[in-house]
Amino acid sequence: MHMNRTVLDASELEKRIGYVFQNKAVLRRALTHRSFSADHNERLEFLGDSVLNCVIGSALFLRDKHFTEGVLSRARANLVCEKALNEIAREIDIGAFILLGDGEIKTGGVQRPSILADACEAVFGGVFLDGGFSAAQEVILRLYEPILTSAAMAHERLDKDAKTKLQEYLQGLRYPLPEYKVLNIAGAAHRQVFHCSCSIARLGIVELGEGTSRRAAEQIAAEKALQKAMQAAGS
């Protein structure tokens, strides 16, 4: 028995993404969280992540021939991360279609960024499995179009991440590179929370970061450490 919760018909999601599945079971699996059923969306999420990286990478490559490899890598990372996927998730309200177990419903899983982002990737993987690469590419580019347009490609999409900025800043001062450590990993396997530290021994700085992945936690710690380092150096 599952809790009473209104889940919208998946056919409405098909309208929102502009693709009709031949095999509806694939779409259902893409929208099924592991807390609801053993036939869940994690394998499709893996597939969708690969397809998304390829499609966005290709779109960025074709978009501006002046983009260097470094800029392309940073822009792609910023466009396929959880934050960007949640922009897509909110636009199509994918949370209204996800099948969740009682525990996840009670703890607000319908709005949890990681669950929404994973479901988006699973849907992309499902489209690829059901209709091939061209179909998946069309869906992804249609949903990402507002983000990929020239006006919307804000500086932050192309900017260096915090870890890169911190490394380059310290190198400019001829200081040793920062040291990152994972202090703790809490939570269940499917919703882990990472606690990491970023240390700059030369300046006596130690900052902490928390995130749903090691990379996210390190980036938050690096951003804090960079601010402290700049203050310490009088920048």
Active site residues: 49, 121
Element (H, E) at 52: helix 42-63
140 by DSSP, 3-state: which? helix
Contacts of 53 (CB under 8 A, 6+ apart): 76, 80
Beta strands in 151-204 (DSSP E): 179-186, 193-200
Would you say 234 and 225 are in contact if contact means Cβ atoms under 8 Å apart? Answer: no
188 by DSSP, 3-state: which? coil
Distance CA 168, CA 175 (A): 10
Element (H, E) at 198: strand 193-200
C-alpha closest to that of 193 among 179, 205, 180, 208: 208
